[in-house]
Amino acid sequence: MQIEDHPAGYPRFSALVASHDSFHLCRRFSNLRSRLLLLKQDRISSLEKQLQKVDHEETVPLRLGSTRADDNSERKFILSQIDDALADYDGLIVRNHQIFSFEAARPRAVASLQNWINGTGCIARHEATYLNYSNELLCVASMDDTVMMWLETLVECTFTRARQYFGKNRHLNISRDPNVHITSKPSVTRIARVLMTPFIATLLLAPVIVCNCLTSLIARLSTIVIAATMFIAILSGSTKAKTVELVVAGATYTTVLIVFISSTSMPKN
């Protein structure tokens, strides 16, 4: 089925959202989550002070030294409230952690959905205002590294321009709308990874080739320093690697280059 085969409204909009991973967007509601967390935290703090007050005013020391002998109903009631409040508080913290672990939505995906809604009018505008909160929109689907995202966007733009120029086969596309161009996610990913291969090969092998052409040890060491710096900078900016992973990758890369230099005989001048 194509998108236009679904009834206009939410059925058609849902079909569009389901057609691409990057369209699965929703709001984090960061402000409301912070508000609720602060309220629950303050409630626990208040209960904590009430419990401290009851403990300090206790006239029978045995009640504080034995839970079995503690027959203070007020303390038991406060502890029961604290238990419920902490369970509610911890649950919200866990949910917030899960929500904030999702990555931010792609601006291109947000703009695409907004353009489709404005062009078709299938969804009430006040019900599509969530797309206006671009600073707190998250993408439910997992996203690739920065370089892969850039390459996938480049491939999608290329396919879109090709379809606009040569026309598109409506039997192979998920939409009959000439303004809707959605490329298969697996196809885009495969092409992007193929384009990534020569870039990675150049990044890894270029310093080896340069060092092999140089005769001066100082020049070779300078090449290693520059290559290792560029390698770590590119790895840091294009991937989600942690600091420890960057250190390990940089150390391994530098070690390989140094071993190559030390094992290569220096040509005589």
Residues 68 and 152 in one domain: no
Residues 51 and 108 in one domain: no
Helix 217-238, helix 185-213: angle, nearest 10: 170
Q: pLDDT confidence of 185, banded at 50, 70, 90? A: low
List of residues 6+ apart from 238 with CB closer than 8 A = 145, 146, 147
d(CA 141, CA 150) in angstroms, rounded, equals 17
Number of compact structural domains in the chain? 3
Count other Cβ atoms within 10 Å, centred on residue 46: 12
Residues 259 and 235 in one domain: yes
**60, 82, 100 — which closes off a domain?**
100
d(CA 31, CA 29) in angstroms, rounded, equals 6
Q: How much is the pLDDT for 163?
A: 62
Domain that holds residue 91: 30-100
Residues 167 and 38 in one domain: no
**126, 149, 183 — which closes off a domain?**
183
d(CA 229, CA 223) in angstroms, rounded, equals 10
Helix 73-100, helix 30-56: angle, nearest 10: 160
Q: Which residue has the higher pLDDT, 93 or 141?
A: 93
- Interval 241-267: pLDDT, tens: 778 888 888 888 888 888 777 766 445
- Interval 208-248: pLDDT, tens: 888 878 778 788 888 888 888 888 888 887 777 778 888 88
**100, 125, 141 — which closes off a domain?**
100
31's tokens: 């402000």
User: Could you tell me which residues are beta bridge partners of residue 26?
Assistant: 138
List of residues 6+ apart from 208 with CB closer than 8 A = 257, 260
Count other Cβ atoms within 10 Å, centred on residue 237: 10
174 in a structural domain? yes
The whole model's pTM is what? 0.69
189 in a structural domain? no
Residues 62 and 20 in one domain: no
How many CA atoms, within 13 angstroms, populate the side-chain half-sphere of residue 208?
13
Q: How much is the pLDDT for 246?
A: 83
Mean pLDDT rounded to a whole number for the chain: 84
Residues 206 and 109 in one domain: no
Residues 109 and 86 in one domain: no
